[in-house]
Amino acid sequence: MAWFVLVIAGLLEVVWAVGLKYTHGFTRLWPSVITVVAMIVSVALLSWSMKTLPTGTAYAVWTGIGAVGAATTGIILLGESASLARIASLALIVIGIIGLKLSTH
């Protein structure tokens, strides 16, 4: 269950990371509300998952999901670069996340 909660926390990190772009410095109400709520829930779920998962593993997976998700969203929705080097780097992060999952007891 902790891994499922951690994945949800990571996906919410993507929501707030991308949401920051749409808040325009927290000057737009609804994007700001969505972003702040996603931040709070994401960190709360991360904290909950750390009750049973190792801290370093949980934090690394959470940030990895957020980084890969935000970069992928940037490529798909915001027209950011999809160069081979960028895609390969994202793949390495995913491999690291999988490795951490497989090595956690």
pTM, two decimals, is 0.90
Structure tokens belonging to residue 75: 């490529």
Q: What is the pLDDT of residue 46?
A: 98
pLDDT at 88 (0 to 100): 97
pLDDT digits (tens, 9 = 90+) for 15-67: 999 999 999 999 999 999 999 999 999 999 999 999 999 999 999 999 999 99
Question: Taking 80 as the threshold, does the pLDDT of residue 73 lie above it?
Answer: yes
Half-sphere exposure of 100 (CA within 13 A, CB side): 21
